[in-house]
Structure 1
């Protein structure tokens, strides 16, 4: 094997043509993952709270939407955003933004279930005690339930972020120049080192995902230790 092709294109693999062109490679992969994770955190939080609403008119449609999105492959959601957003907005939308929109919608549906499980894991007696003191239901949720639930949700959120990093590899389908797309471009240009190129890409994904998975395990242990004190 000859990994010289990796050394010759290392900067391209990491940041694409930046700063003389658009960001690409691993830099764009992490950008897509971080932005989508932040947006889907808030999206999942809102959907999770609405899915627990006592108002049936709100709860049932939200649960139907969550189950519909979770029942679709991510690739289908990306295609929907790629063709739907320009038609709805009436103007072209950059491919990276369509991918962010698709990842946000898809991941929000999964994060909503993490939020739901975290909230349902809090003993109902605490909510009843809070309501008996005169707090309104949303006050009890905001000041008592969510702070405790968030502590249990954090490791699951980190694991979902790791999954999101791997999901960004599907962005190459619509021409987004993340690291998988860059690897394909280099392979098409050289036509001689596909094994070396995709071993390198697999190693990059493994290192990044392993780092965040290790952080998740450390965080989970740290939170469990604090809870036991």
Structure 2
């Protein structure tokens, strides 16, 4: 191991941090966007007229049946054709991740809603609330408390998937690592460092999710 030059990581620190910041920005925006859209899709599947529910189900099943990398390519290459101009790597990646993750979040949220007693909705409607008000004030708060650990677990997987944006040239953390590794011919040092960063972040997040789940189970 004496021939390895670990100082290259320190020298490339600002560039790597910039890539990591891009990965976190993509994670946070796609997570919140996916949860919002996923909630709407879940509610449509459960309460909307059957034709709309079929469309929502087709969206979920369709997105979950194709690789994420293909979805990224779709939005990066096809969206500019429809609007007549390029939208850039980051917006394309954000749209792709948000729409793709919405399909997975919607299934989690749908299961969480179905776990709430139907009597809760009936009681809310009996007080004069509309369906949207019943979801907003009664059903969704209880459902989100129950499914928080699962949503966070899916978000950890989302962070791992952000490394796929290298296919469209977006300089996320993994792409930044690859650029430095190839430019300096230090593949072992840089890729070992990247593996360590992903392990620390994902393992730490997984342990935090487990603690949250244990506390909720105890409560």
2:51 to 50, 57, 79: 57
Q: Distance in 2 between matches of 1:89 and 1:213?
A: 40
- The alpha carbon displacement at 1:131 in A equals 3.1
Unaligned runs of at least 5 residues, structure 2: none
Taking a change above 3 Å as real, the CA distance of residues 178 and 54 of structure 1, as seen in their structure-2 partners, is closer
Could you tell me the TM-score, scaled by structure 2's length? 0.93
Taking a change above 3 Å as real, the CA distance of residues 136 and 93 of structure 1, as seen in their structure-2 partners, is closer
Unaligned runs of at least 5 residues, structure 1: 16-24
Match of 1:197 in 2: 190
Q: Deviations over 1:116-174 (max 9, x none)?
A: 00000011222233333443333322221111101012111111111111110000111
Taking a change above 3 Å as real, the CA distance of residues 12 and 117 of structure 1, as seen in their structure-2 partners, is same
Match of 2:140 in 1: 146
Give the number of equivalent residue pairs: 216
* 2:11 corresponds to 1:8: yes
- Cα-Cα RMSD: 1.4
Q: Distance in 2 between matches of 1:138 and 1:7?
A: 52
Match of 2:89 in 1: 95
Match of 2:216 in 1: 223
Q: Deviations over 1:41-86 (max 9, x none)?
A: 1111111111112410110011011100000100000000001111
SS at match of 1:135: coil
Q: Distance in 2 between matches of 1:75 and 1:10?
A: 28
Could you tell me the TM-score, scaled by structure 1's length? 0.89
